[in-house]
Amino acid sequence: MLAQVFHGSFTLFLLTLISFFWQLHAAATCKDKFKVFPSHSACLPRSPQAKIPGPVDKNVVLAVHNKYREKAAKKYNAKNILKMIWDDEVAMVAQKWAENCFGVHDKNYQRLIPGRFPIGQNIASSKENITWETVVQLFYNESKDFHFGGKNNILKKVGHFTQISDEETIEKAIRTVLFWVPVMQHNLEAICLL
């Protein structure tokens, strides 16, 4: 019995020690501008559970996203919806968040890039293999509950759609950025920062 307690305590001690050095390493590799925010996503160490299957085809992701933005522009007669472009710094922040397998949104300040524009976030997950087309279409499908200029839009029902289509947000950002990360080989989790 005493041996089991000792073994459990020792294991807990080792895990705590490993976690401490893991966080220390992450902090050492984190750029100074992100260190001003406690627990910024850019400063997170990669989780050992993260399985990143390979590089994302930026052109495919952008083409699909811009296709649905154009569709939204036509549907709502929007004149100022710009095409998405890729941004490596935003991609790095999304990658760090995705590599931690949290499956939930981080806080706004955790993805804020000092000196740059505000960044929103969409997350989708599936137990099946799905394409980027399917993911963005799921976000776009929320447009059925969206009322242009309406005050009765319920964010939980239209939030993903507004992230991919809102022209005012795009104008404030000058250009918008996009990043998706497949997190696990058999389960797709997409992290999209806009």
Give per-residue pLDDT as tens, 5-54: 455 565 555 445 454 544 554 456 788 999 888 788 889 887 776 665 55
Q: Between 98 and 139, whose confidence is greater? A: 139
- Domain membership of residue 7 (yes or no) is no
Beta-carbon contacts of 181 under 8 Å, excluding residues fewer than 6 positions away, are: 52, 56, 94, 95, 98, 99, 189, 190, 191
pLDDT at site 59? 81
Per residue, the 3-state secondary structure of 24-53, as one string, reads HHHHHHCCHHHHCCCCCHHHCCCCCCCCCC
Which one-letter DSSP state was computed for residue 82? P
| CB contact at 8 A, 56 and 182 | yes
How high is the pLDDT of residue 166? 65
In a domain, 191, yes or no: no
> 3-state class of 170 per DSSP?
helix
- pLDDT band of residue 170 (cuts 50, 70, 90) is very low
Residue that is written with structure tokens 């699909």 in the block: 64
Does residue 43 belong to any structural domain of this protein?
Answer: yes
Q: Report pLDDT for 178.
A: 41
Please indicate, yes or no, if residue 116 is contained in any of the structural domains.
yes
Q: What is the model's pTM?
A: 0.67
**Residues contacting residue 33 through CB under 8 Å, at least 6 positions apart:** 113, 114, 115
Q: Say if residue 169's pLDDT is above 50.
A: no
- Reported as a single tens digit per residue, the pLDDT across 62-117 is 888 889 888 988 888 887 788 877 777 887 887 787 777 666 778 888 888 888 87
CA distance 148 to 76: 7
With a cut of 70, say whether residue 157 has pLDDT above it: yes
In which element (H, E) is residue 124 found?
strand 121-126
Does any domain span residue 130? yes
Q: Is residue 150 included in any domain, yes or no?
A: yes
CATH number at residue 91: 3.40.33
Question: Alpha-carbon distance 40 to 27, whole Å?
Answer: 10
20, part of any domain: no
The 3-state DSSP composition of the chain as helix, strand, coil percent (nearest 5) reads 50, 5, 40
Query: Which domain, by its residues, includes 132?
Result: 32-172
Q: Is residue 194 part of a domain?
A: no
Number of domains in the chain: 1
- Mean per-residue pLDDT for 113-128? 77
